Amino acid sequence: SLPNGHTAKKLDIVVVGGGLVGSLEALYLAKRGHRVRLYEYREDIRETPQARGRSINLALSIRGRRALKDVGLEQHMIENHGIPMVGRMIHKLDGTTYAIPYDARTNQCIYSVGRNYLNGMLLKESENYENVERYFNHKLIEANLKKGSLTFTKTDTKEEVKVNADLVIGADGAFSAVRKAMMKQPLFDYSQKYIEHGYLELCIPSNANGGFQMPANYLHIWPRGTFMMIALPNQDCSWTVTLFMPFTNFKKLDSKEKLLQFFEKYFPDSIPLIGKKKLIEDFFSGSPSPLVSVKCRPYNVDDKALIIGDAAHAVVPFYGQGMNAGFEDCTLLDQLMQKYKDDLPRVLEEFSDTRWKDTYAISDLAMYNYVEMRDLVTRPSYRIRKAFDDLIFWAFPNFWVPLYNSVTFTTMPYSKCVENRRWQNKVLFSVIVAFMIFTMFGLFYVRN
């Protein structure tokens, strides 16, 4: 085998899906010297004009940064593109705002990055490897995973293309065709859940002299109980605003007047920022998109196929971890390939056996947040708990890492983050009970 621990055996790998996770995975595999063919349904996003103001963005945190670092792109993304968000900026109904820092102790932050920019960067980087070939406008329609044989149709000419590979990696998103083929395998567990909320993207444009209209280094939230709005900053000083609301509520807003009344009532401070005309245009030009949560396992078929990213674990976005979790899949897969020298049967089996506990955990955490977060940040109990968490975290930083910090600012396995939280809840509960008993005895003693 080669000095750097790579096997002499070079694999012929097909990655289905050239989105964020598929294009990152292609880089990891290329660095290991394998032959990679990346097939993407859509056209090359670097050639499509960026729809103005529709630059959809995402929160990049430590797990995703670690993967970008492995492929040499972290510094570029952090220094040239990502916008640091040091905390949440909560917008109250009366239009006043207050900030809650992510980590007052060490000033850690997360970054807002443009989805298409990041995807384009990953695809561009793959052009530095002559062992990566990119095929756009190719839709996977048939897969015999046991044999590693795939059939694509070219979306422009409709012709069929047959492809064979030693390994097929499905990074084709929440509605994955590779996962669909996997579902025919015996002992394949699968569940999905559409939540009652949909989401719609709006845009807060930059101001007259091209600057930000709101404090730039924050993730802005308008928590309103059963619905909420969230805004992340873009490089062009605009904001991508995402309104999360039950589909039934969206349906009720079926006229300009009703829409404006709704925003006057619930998001008054956002109207001058978005602009009434743009609000009406953007709101009625699209329709709310659904949000699905997918859990499944195992992620492999023998040593022939593997699914990663949203194809393996689509989560609701209420933790900002979907892409970070998919990027973490790629990091862990690479560590296993290094550990077992690309011996696929062992790599894929251990990936499936170990990864599902963590993806199920983050899926449950995101779903819990969905239920809690819309008003969690406004609830006194949340803020008391957070103050308590931050106090103990400050006092014993290596002993008590609050849940949000461990998920977002450490690479602790998601399942371990949840385990910690359970243990912390027990400790907190017993401290409160002890405190109450102590107070009762104290009062009783004083009275007599």
Ligand X SMILES: Cc1cc2nc3c(=O)[nH]c(=O)nc-3n(C[C@H](O)[C@H](O)[C@H](O)COP(=O)(O)OP(=O)(O)OC[C@H]3O[C@@H](n4cnc5c(N)ncnc54)[C@H](O)[C@@H]3O)c2cc1C
Residue 135 contacts ligand EGU per CB under 6 A:
no
Q: Which range of residues in 257-265, 314-322, 355-363, 437-445 is near ligand EGU by CB under 6 A?
A: 314-322
CB of 19 to ligand X, least distance (A): 2
State yes or no: residue 63 binds ligand EGU (CB under 6 A). Answer: no
Q: Which of 300, 324, 363, 415 binds ligand X (CB under 6 A)?
A: 324
Q: What one-character DSSP code corresponds to residue 302? A: T
With contacts defined by CB under 6 A, name the span among 161-169, 187-195, 323-331, 436-444 that binds ligand X: 323-331
Residues in contact with ligand EGU, counted by CB under 6 A, come to a total of 17
Q: Break the chain down into helix, strand, coil percent, rounded to 5.
A: 45, 25, 30
* DSSP string for 374-415: HHHTT-HHHHHHHHHHHHHHHHSTTT---HHHHHHH----HH
CA–CA dist 73, 28 (Å, integer): 12
For ligand EGU, the closer CB: 340 or 404: 404
By CB under 6 A, tell whether 16 contacts ligand X.
yes
Q: What is the largest CA-CA distance in the chain?
A: 92
SS3 (DSSP) at 207: coil
Place of tokens 């349904």: 41
Name the binder of 140 from ligand X, ligand EGU, none, CB < 5-8 A by kind: ligand X
Task: For the sheet with 110-114, list strands across it.
Answer: 57-60, 110-114, 83-85
Q: In the 8-state DSSP scheme, what is residue 269?
A: G
Considering only 270, 293, 331, 369, the residue that binds ligand EGU (CB under 6 A) is: 369
CB within 8 Å of 345: residues ≥ 6 apart: 302, 303
Conformational region of residue 95, where left means phi above 0, alpha means psi within -120 to 50, and beta covers everything else: left
The partner in contact with residue 389, picked from ligand X, ligand EGU, none with C-beta cut-offs of 5 to 8 angstroms by kind, is none
Cis peptide before 298 (omega within 30 of 0): yes
Residue 38 engages ligand X in binding (rule: CB under 6 A) = no
- What minimum distance in Å lies between the beta carbon of 400 and ligand X? 25
Could you say which of 227, 319, 356, 393 contacts ligand EGU (CB under 6 A)?
319
Nearer to ligand X, 41 or 218 (CB): 41
Residue 82 touches which of ligand X, ligand EGU, none (CB < 5 to 8 A by kind)?
none
The interface with ligand EGU within residues 372-401 (CB under 6 A) comprises 373
Helix (H, G, I), strand (E, B) or coil at 100: strand
Contacts (CB under 6 A) with ligand X, residues 57-86: 58-59
Picked from ligand X, ligand EGU, none, the partner binding residue 406 (CB below 5 to 8 A depending on kind) is none
Chosen from ligand X, ligand EGU, none, partner binding at 233 (C-beta under 5 to 8 Å by type): none
Q: Looking at this protein, which amino acid is placed at residue 180?
A: K
Q: Tokens 């995975």 identify what position?
A: 25
Q: Which two tokens stand for residue 392?
A: 């103990």
CA torsion 308-311-316-321 (nearest 10°) is 20
129-137, 259-267, 320-328, 393-401 -> range binding ligand X (CB under 6 A): 320-328
- DSSP letter for 309, please: T
Near ligand EGU by CB under 6 A, which window of 148-156, 295-303, 311-319, 411-419? 311-319
Q: Which is nearer to ligand EGU, 150 or 325 (CB)?
A: 325
Q: Which of residues 80-109 bind ligand EGU (CB under 6 A)?
A: 88
Cβ-contact 152, 141 below 8 angstroms: yes
| Binding-site member from 234, 240, 300, 321 for ligand X (CB under 6 A) | 321
Is 140 a residue that touches ligand X (CB under 6 A)? yes
Judged by CB under 6 A, the residue of 70, 310, 342, 389 near ligand X is: 310
| Residue 233, both tokens | 């900053």
- What ranges in 32-168 are assigned the alpha helix state H? 62-70, 74-76, 115-126
Asked if residue 178 lies in contact with residue 21, where contact means CB atoms within 8 angstroms, the answer is no
Among 242, 331, 363, 406, interactor with ligand EGU by CB under 6 A? 242
Contacting ligand X (CB under 6 A), which of 14, 18, 111, 122?
Answer: 18
Q: Counting contacts by CB under 6 A, is residue 323 touching ligand X?
A: yes
Helix (H, G, I), strand (E, B) or coil at 421: helix
Residues that bind ligand X (CB under 6 A): 16-22, 39-42, 58-59, 139-140, 171-173, 177, 199, 242, 309-311, 317, 320-324, 326
